[in-house]
Chain A
């Protein structure tokens, strides 16, 4: 448990550091920000006044301190343009992105475990096929996969809606249909690399001495694999998963853009193009929090799976 606590503190430190760095970058140019709010025909005097009004002339550390103080109470600022609070904007968009990522992760676990174990245990053509697919899936960027899927299933074959999001409280079937293609787009790349890495972890576990001893004990091969090998490959497997989350967050941005899903990624893209700094800042912070949470959770799960990791 101590290690989890240490990890937590470390994560918070990382969060603060990165947030501060981003903050400096985003809010560094106070005059530029004021000008982009007031518009280009604004007089110099008005711009300067706006700078003071927004408190952009204070030292960055002070501004950051203020921002943090507000952030911990849930106030991440307001959009420069529409006046909408960042928190409320995120509240509607984060669940969409999270749904996408969590469901993809769950499916990734299922598929990559099945494929990785099969490839490691049976080898032969199955292994070769997996290696081929994993290279392919890792090579093709998610937005290209997304376009290909739209092309096939929404334009040519017309089975599923190509774009748009239906929330589950509106219609469950509609929701499932609207997230199928996006998840598929993310899943292909995710399984491709996760399965290959999981295969490596399984091969690694299979080569251990105790596996041989267990066989010698008379255990059936299936039991050896599903009880012992999987359990021991789980630790490295978790590491793979937390790496995948990072990739998925990036991929989700593209998929949201291509398939018009109202998630965090789309918001980040729109806000960045408009120069709406508080929104961008909010998205970056939430993204980092998600990544850190996933890392913490996988560390925690690792201590459960791996008894050696518990005693510190």
Chain B
């Protein structure tokens, strides 16, 4: 059933402190609503003997098929003259009990099995894993119906069995938590001489596990109610016991004489299930760190972008005429709440001439990658460009989205950092390259293939025909990076933005790739923005270098001048620490 499926989406997470969870839960309007409704239902169930206007199955012949809102019968009466409201009230306890049964059995079985399997691993885990797979591949309602042939009408037994069928979800949850906790503790345990205390692990694990278990329980309870109502609806329940599903079944059979009779049990069941699911969702949001509250309001974003755009159109172009690419006053920010934006690039200027290899150095978090992505227009969705312009031969790419799209891939190319994750694993190398090239250049597939084969050879791949047939996971990191370089260069761009192109490679391959980049630049007159934190690379390859710190360019110079005569303190520090690393490595 669908409710079961939503259970499988629960994930492990950081446990939050108990009291603040409750507070956050109650502050959330949806959470409040659901909690109130569920509490209401529980209260109704517990206090039914005091509240219910009629006794269970009390038949009043004068009320047969009474319409809703008739005197004495808020929800009307059924074909035997029983008050629908009362029947539903009397059935509430049965439903609550059933859900409780499912939860208790599922938790006891699943959590215990998960603890044992995660801790002892080996055979226990293998067996438990197999059993879990088996149980999870069984359609529960079919088994419950088959069970009826054995046990007759006994909803509680059916719920107990359902609890068993549902326990694998807890098993998986607990087991994964145990595994992660275990790995942490091993490290600690290595420091302490002596045996690890199983009780400590158990306590720690149970503490870690409680959040996902609680969240999961909400969904399990929801599916328990659904299955119980379903079983009763099919007629497998005790006819003498008022129940939600039974009332629905009766109303359905009587639908011509009392059209509205089905509404009340249907609503009750649906709303209760809905509350439990929403409650689980809210719990999940509250208990697990969520990035939701970091979203910028749409209106705010629009305002910010509009301001930036109006600045652009009114500003005078103070770009360097000789530069191929001119960045002026680039400001980039990320949302820090619905109204606030945290600036990561504070109005940066940058010029790159044709054929110039321009290094962009800085520590992680300095904003250099943001500059690179902005140039290409591939910043993540959340980012906001707060201001500035990027002039490509005089045309402001930020002012004209179409121009930027036209430039991307054709005039400006991109070489990413991590080769393996930047190739689509589902397509062959050849397919990706050919398709990518044909997206920006109007040539036939055959011609594209020929060009690419030649280019692959050029970037140093032996047997390119074979490589084209391979999948990304079948080639080495070095080869992958060469492929990516090939892809970037194939459309014959004028500027390449390379984001730490050698960082993820082996040292020996690094040198080769750097050499390749230099050759390509010379051959094709390629300008390059080379983002890196490695000053050795800068020294090796670049003509000019800009140093970034905290979203600002602190120094810019040609390479020799910068290395020999750094002006800024920060630059000096960078150079010193980099040299000492080289010394130790050497």
A/B contact in complex, CB under 8 angstroms:
yes
Interface positions of A (Cβ within 8 A of B) = 14, 17-18, 22, 25-26, 29, 124, 135-144, 147-148, 151, 155, 189-190, 192-193, 196-197, 200, 208-210, 212-220, 223, 227-228, 231-232, 243-244, 246-247, 249-251, 253-254, 257-258, 265, 268-269, 271-273, 275-277, 280-281, 283-284, 287-288, 291-292, 295, 305-308, 311
Bound Cα distance from A308 to B6, whole angstroms: 28
| A138-B4 Cα distance, complex, nearest whole Å | 9
Instruction: Point out the residues of chain A lying under 8 angstroms from B281, CB to CB.
Output: 135
Chain A residues positioned under 8 Å from B270 (CB to CB): 139-141, 144
Q: Give residues of chain B (1-25) contacting chain A, Cβ–Cβ below 8 Å.
A: 1-6, 8-9
Decide: B418 and A209 in contact? CB cutoff 8 A: yes
7 more contacts with CB within 8 A, not counting A26-B150, A228-B427, are: A14-B137, A136-B274, A139-B270, A151-B255, A277-B149, A283-B146, A291-B138
Whether A253 lies near B141 (C-beta < 8 A) is yes
B40 within 8 A of A: no
Chain A CB within 8 A of B145 CB: yes
Q: How far is B145's CA from A287's CA once the two chains are assembled, in angstroms?
A: 12
A292-B137 contact given A26-B146, A218-B408, A254-B230, CB 8 Å threshold = yes
Of the A-B pairs whose beta carbons lie under 8 Å apart in the complex, a sample of 14, sorted by A's number, is: A29-B150, A135-B277, A141-B3, A155-B259, A189-B1, A210-B421, A212-B422, A213-B423, A219-B409, A219-B436, A251-B1, A272-B148, A276-B149, A306-B426
In the complex, what residues of B have CB within 8 A of residue A231's CB?
A: 424, 426-427
- Which residues of the partner chain A approach B141 to less than 8 Å between Cβ atoms? 249-250, 253-254
Specify which chain A residues have a CB less than 8 angstroms from the CB of B440 in the assembled complex: 217-219
Contacting pair B424 A210 (CB below 8 A): yes
| Least distance between A149 CB and chain B CB atoms (Å) | 12
Majority SS at the chain B contact face: helix
Asked whether B134 is an interface residue with its Cβ less than 8 Å from the other chain, the reply is yes
Task: Determine, out of B182-190, B232-240, B339-347, the stretch whose residues face the partner at the interface.
Answer: B232-240
B575 at the interface (CB under 8 A from A): no
Q: Is the CB of B278 within 8 A of A280?
A: no
**Does B383 belong to the interface (CB within 8 Å)?**
no
C-alpha spacing A196/B6, complex, angstroms: 9
Closest to A229 in B: B424
Chain A residues positioned under 8 Å from B3 (CB to CB): 138-139, 141
**Chain A contacts of B235 at CB under 8 A?**
269, 273
CB within 8 Å of A: which B402-416 residues: 405, 408-410, 413-414, 416
Name the contact of A250 in the complex, choosing from B140, B149, B278, B439 (C-beta under 8 A). Answer: B140
Cα(A84)–Cα(B275), bound, Å: 46
A209 touches B416 (CB 8 A): yes
**What is the CA–CA distance of A29 and B287 in the complex, to the nearest angstrom?**
49
Q: Indicate if the CB atoms of B9 and A254 lie closer than 8 Å.
A: no
Distance, CA A26 to CA B474, complexed state (A): 51
Expressed in whole angstroms, the minimum distance between the Cβ of B59 and any Cβ of chain A is: 24
Q: Is the CB of B273 within 8 A of A140?
A: yes
Return B156 CB to nearest CB of chain A, in Å: 17
How far does the Cβ of B376 sit from chain A's closest Cβ, in whole Å? 5
State whether A141 and B425 are in contact (beta carbons under 8 Å apart), knowing that A26-B150, A218-B409 are contacts in the complex.
no
CB distance from A37 to the nearest CB of B (A): 13
CB–CB A308/B142 < 8 A: no
Q: B487: CB under 8 A from chain A?
A: yes
> What residues of chain B lie closer than 8 Å to A249, measured between beta carbons?
139, 141-142
Contacts of B484 in A (CB 8 A): 213
Residues of chain B within 8 A (CB-CB) of A193 are 2, 5-6
Given contacts A135-B274, A271-B149, contact A308 B473 (CB under 8 A): yes
Q: Are B298 and A124 in contact (CB under 8 A)?
A: yes
Which residues from B are CB-within-8-Å of A228? 424, 426-427
Rank and list the top 5 A-B pairs by shortest CB-CB distance, nearest first.
A218-B409, A216-B414, A138-B2, A139-B274, A250-B141
Interface mask (B141-157 → A, CB under 8 Å = 1, otherwise 0): 11101111110000000
B222 at the interface (CB under 8 A from A): yes
Which B residues are in CB contact (< 8 Å) with A232?
424-426
- With the chains together, A192 CA to B236 CA distance in Å? 28
Asked if residues B266 and A148 are in contact (CB atoms below 8 Å), the reply is yes
Q: Is the pair A273, B148 in contact by a Cβ cutoff of 8 Å?
A: yes
Nearest-neighbor residue (CB-CB) of B136 within chain A: A246
Chain A residues near B259 (CB, 8 Å)? 151, 155
Q: Are A287 and B142 in contact (CB under 8 A)?
A: yes
Complex Cα distance, B226 from A140, in Å, reads: 8
Residues on B with beta carbons closer than 8 Å to the beta carbon of A272: 145-146, 148-149, 236
> CA separation between A273 and B236, bound complex, in Å?
8
A-contact 0/1 string along B217-247, CB 8 Å cutoff? 0000010001001100111100000000000
Asked whether, in the complex, the Cβ of A197 is within 8 Å of the Cβ of B436, the reply is no
Write the chain A residue with the least CB distance to B273: A139
- Give the docked Cα–Cα distance between A142 and B245 (Å): 13
With a cutoff of 8 Å between Cβ atoms, the chain B residues found around residue A215 in the complex are: 378, 408
Chain B, range 265-311, C-beta contacts under 8 Å to A = 266, 269-270, 273-274, 277-278, 281, 298
- B424 adjacent to A291 (CB under 8 Å): no
Contact of A254 among B234, B278, B497 (CB under 8 A): B234
Q: By the criterion CB–CB under 8 Å, are A138 and B146 in contact? A: no
- The contact of B416 among A22, A212, A269, by CB within 8 Å, is A212
A residues less than 8 Å from B148 (CB atoms): 272-273
Assess the B149–A147 pair: CB atoms within 8 A. Answer: no
Q: Are B423 and A210 in contact (CB under 8 A)?
A: yes
Please name all residues of chain B whose beta carbon is closer than 8 Å to the beta carbon of A246 when the two chains form the complex: 4, 137, 139
Tell me whether A287 and B139 are in contact (CB under 8 A). Answer: yes
Q: How far is the CB of A285 from chain B (nearest CB, A)?
A: 10
On whether the beta carbons of B409 and A138 are closer than 8 Å, the reply is no
Question: B8 — which chain A residues lie within 8 A by C-beta?
Answer: 243
Q: How distant is A207 from chain B, measured CB to nearest CB, in Å?
A: 9
Cβ of B119 < 8 Å from any Cβ of A?
no
B57 located at the interface, meaning its Cβ lies under 8 Å from any Cβ of chain A in the complex: no
- Among A139, A307, A308, chain B packs the most CB atoms within 10 A around the CB of A139
B145 touches A280 (CB 8 A): yes
Q: Assess the A212–B426 pair: CB atoms within 8 A.
A: no
Bound-state Cα–Cα, A147 to B435, Å = 50
Contact indicator A253/B142 (Cβ below 8 Å): yes
Chain B 112-144 per-residue mask, 1 if CB under 8 angstroms from chain A, else 0: 000000000000000000000110011111110
Contact B439 A197 (CB under 8 A): no
Which of chain B's residues have a CB closer than 8 A to the CB of A311? 473-474
B425 touches A307 (CB 8 A): yes
Q: Does B143 contact A284, Cβ atoms closer than 8 Å?
A: yes
Given contacts A209-B422, A232-B426, A308-B473, contact A17 B142 (CB under 8 A): no
- Chain A residues whose CB sits within 8 angstroms of the CB of B491 once the complex forms: 217-218
Q: Does B252 contact A (CB under 8 A)?
A: yes
Q: Verify A213–B414 contact, CB threshold 8 A.
A: yes
